[in-house]
Amino acid sequence: MKRWKCTVCGYVHEGDEPPEECPVCGADRSKFVELIETGGGEEPPREVKSASPVASEISSDPSPAGFPGNDVPETEKTPFQKFYATVTRLMVTYHVHPISVHIPNGVLPVAVVFLVLSMLFEVSSLESASFYNMIMVVLVMPKVIFSGYNDWKVRLGGNLTRLILTKMICGAVVFGLGLLLVIWRWVDPVVALPGSSHRIMYLFIHMVVLGAAVTAGFLGGKLIRFPGD
């Protein structure tokens, strides 16, 4: 059975022919290369014989057409359009999204654990720590969402697959409900303390936010595939 690797996201397909489009990133079949087994276990890629060239790397100007000025000839771009195109390209080159997404993925579980412990042992300082950690999550989420959108447009070609759409929804849930929790706690400082009639609901929303972040992280892992996965 032949194995084909998507050069856009790394998805590996098994079959006599590559799929018409990648089920992960939506790239068409011209972006697939055949993986060849060797004695040492390595699998160097071989290009698919197709009329369309295989693009294995990001082009010198990978900025998506939907971004400001990217449908304008280089000589006609405004300074802002040139600056914006350069910044978005550098964000992909230096992996801004994978780096930034580790912040909420690391801080959010801590916020939830602190909240649970504060409720179990009635320690108000742990509840406060949970609140401040959630503030950090909310503050960093706009950067995570924008850098993720930029990665999708530049690195993955802007194809809206089910996986990408689910990741977007999860990101919106984390930011939206996280912001709701911060505002709620700011308005009602005792919402998570003993005697509050809303503390269970407050905890439940934390769990929903954590679940959305875990789901987004799991799906993000599917975009980083290696031969043999």
Residue 203, Cα to own-chain centre: how many angstroms?
25
pLDDT at 6 > cutoff 60: yes
Task: Express each pLDDT in 142-154 by its tens digit.
Answer: 999 999 999 998 8
> What percentage of the chain reaches a pLDDT higher than 90?
55
Q: What is the average pLDDT value for the chain, to the nearest integer?
A: 84
Question: Are residues 46 and 34 in contact, defined by beta-carbon separation less than 8 angstroms?
Answer: yes
SS3 8: coil
pLDDT at 42 > cutoff 80: no
Span 167-190, average pLDDT: 98
Question: Are residues 94 and 73 in contact, defined by beta-carbon separation less than 8 angstroms?
Answer: no
Tell which CATH classification among 2.20.28, 2.60.40, 3.40.1350, 3.30.70 matches the domain 3-47: 2.20.28
Question: Are residues 168 and 203 in contact, defined by beta-carbon separation less than 8 angstroms?
Answer: no
Q: Which helix (H) or strand (E) holds 129?
A: helix 124-154
Question: Are residues 138 and 209 in contact, defined by beta-carbon separation less than 8 angstroms?
Answer: no
Length of the chain: 229
Task: Express each pLDDT in 44-69 by its tens digit.
Answer: 454 444 333 333 334 444 444 445 55
Question: Are residues 28 and 20 in contact, defined by beta-carbon separation less than 8 angstroms?
Answer: yes
Give me the residue spans of the domains in the chain: 3-47, 95-222
DSSP sequence for 142-171: HHHHHHHHHHHHHTSTT---HHHHHHHHHH
